[in-house]
Amino acid sequence: MLVSRITLKNWRNFRKLDLALRDRVFIVGPNAAGKSNLLDVFRFLRDIAKSDGGGLQKAVKERGGVSKIRSLAARRDPLIEIEIVLSEAVDDVPLWKYSIGIRQETRGYRQATLDYERVWKNGNQILNRPDSNDRSDPERLKQTFLEQVNTNSEFREIPKYLQSVTYLHLVPQLLRYASSFKGYTLEDDPFGQGFLERVAKCPSRTQKSRLSKIENALKVAVPQLQQLKFERDAETGRPHLAALHSHWRPNAGWQREDQFSDGTLRLIGLLWSLLESDSLLLLEEPELSLNSGIVSKLAPLIYRMQRQRKRQVIVSTHSEALLSDAGIDGREVCLLTPSTEGTSAEVAAQVDDILALLDAGLSVGEVVLPRTIPEGIEQLDIFDE
Ligand SMILES: Nc1ncnc2c1ncn2[C@@H]1O[C@H](COP(=O)(O)OP(=O)(O)OP(=O)(O)O)[C@@H](O)[C@H]1O
Ligand SMILES: [Mg+2]
């Protein structure tokens, strides 16, 4: 299953957004255009649907309250609206549609409250809140049905799907020194601190098979690397990754992850995530710390992984190398353009002059990225003086 369409109103810096999504999506735009905010919608829905202590109130609170997530550009219609369409495969008819409208209580604790919550299955609406129970007890509108197992049995597939959404923004330092930060790990571990635990929890056969695929990729990307393995520290029992590098001194020995390079760690995290499950994967700027030669191979790598397991991948990026791959289709690229009225989002293939250049054989990187450079950027040169 994948998210084939998303519609937003008043979500952070998007007043309005309506996007068709493919198996791979590349979100591009200048700094502060809203790339991370767009990825955050999927995490927000996951946080609502989470079975262990999720829910609407917590998801909103973690983001600083309704006033932080509602678009500052919103004037008369202060409702935050999110709608997703789920389909079995891209271009298939929709299986599910889920939509919610959220507002802030006008009195009291100013908590988030639902203006509506609706679900469609195969085109037929099967949930329409507020219902008569909600009207007689408005407190009920502080919880979605998505977060309650006793109310969502007819559409359980939606919360199940959302629960397994993964967000990866791997910070090598946090992974490397994970044990010194123990107790400070963020919930859902977006920065990869618990990455080694995840590898450790994986059943041994699957773990071996994934690590051997990663090892093969690393041998190409990291010239001296020869072998990669998982091990536990004999004394502390802590999980570790170890790599054998070819070295001028024979038997120089295995190195553990605290000695891996930033790029090696990020690549391991990225490849592991691609192999991990078949739900939506959100990748935040995967190009960071990687050599541009490797970055230019990421898009085809994601494509190849998707042939084995149908994992939808949404990537935010600034990288020309990543977008230089000729296999990227204009329908897979979402271009964000900020303005005073909020950011607008367009699928690159739907912009006529972009399409003309793509058809003429230019790559997405060549055509789309120049449009994300802020006007007046040359003024940064004054820092030279
Ligand atoms: N409620 C809101 N209403 C309007 N704008 C908001 C709201 N919340 C955040 N923003 C704006 O969104 C912008 C940040 O967006 P985001 O972090 O998604 O950018 P980005 O495209 O990921 O940038 P970068 O490339 O630097 O990572 C900031 O300028 C911030 O002011
Ligand atoms: Mg960002």
Measured from the CB, is residue 334 less than 6 Å from ligand 1? no
Q: Provide long-range contacts, Cβ within 8 A and 24+ apart, for 302-305.
A: 302/24, 302/274, 303/24, 303/327, 305/274, 305/275
Can you read off the two tokens belonging to residue 334? Answer: 């979402």
**Amino acid in position 138:** P
Measured from the CB, is residue 33 less than 6 Å from ligand 1? yes
The DSSP call for residue 338 is -
pLDDT of 246 reads 80
Helix 204-221 and helix 262-276: axis angle, to 10°? Answer: 140
Measured from the CB, is residue 35 less than 6 Å from ligand 1? yes
Residue of 37, 71, 316 to test ligand 1 pocket, by largest number of atoms within 8 Å of CB: 37
Residue with the nearest Cα to atom 24 of ligand 1?
31
Local confidence band at 197 (pLDDT 50, 70, 90 cut-offs): confident
Could you report the per-residue pLDDT of 101-152, keeping only the tens digit for each?
999 988 888 899 999 999 999 999 999 999 999 999 999 999 999 999 999 9
Residue with the nearest Cα to atom 13 of ligand 1?
32
CA distance 70 to 84: 18
Helix (H, G, I), strand (E, B) or coil at 322: helix
- The CA-atom distances, in angstroms, between 284 and each of 157, 253, 343 are 26, 34, 19
Please give the average per-residue pLDDT across 144-168, as a whole number: 94
Measured from the CB, is residue 169 less than 6 Å from ligand 1? no
Please give the average per-residue pLDDT across 67-90, as a whole number: 90
Measured from the CB, is residue 71 less than 6 Å from ligand 1? yes
Rg over CA atoms, the chain: 22
CA distance 290 to 49: 34
Could you report the per-residue pLDDT of 8-65, keeping only the tens digit for each?
999 999 999 999 999 999 999 999 999 999 999 999 999 999 988 889 999 999 999 9
Helix (H, G, I), strand (E, B) or coil at 3: strand
Query: Which ligand 1 atom sits nearest the alpha carbon of residue 72?
Result: 3
CA distance 24 to 40: 17
Measured from the CB, is residue 279 less than 6 Å from ligand 1? no
Total residue count of the chain as it appears in this document: 385
pLDDT of 329 reads 92
Residue with the nearest Cα to atom 18 of ligand 1?
34
Measured from the CB, is residue 32 less than 6 Å from ligand 1? yes
Please give the sequence-ordered ranges of beta strands (E in DSSP) within 211-275, or none if there are none: 225-232, 239-245, 254-256
* Enclosing H/E stretch for 260: none
Identify the nearest ligand to the CA of 27 by its number.
1
Question: In terms of Cα–Cα distance, which of 96, 97, 130, 98 is closest to 114?
Answer: 130
**Alpha-carbon 150 to chain mean position:** 29
Alpha helices per DSSP H over 182-237: 195-201, 204-221
Query: Which ligand 1 atom sits nearest the alpha carbon of residue 70?
Result: 1
* Enclosing H/E stretch for 278: none
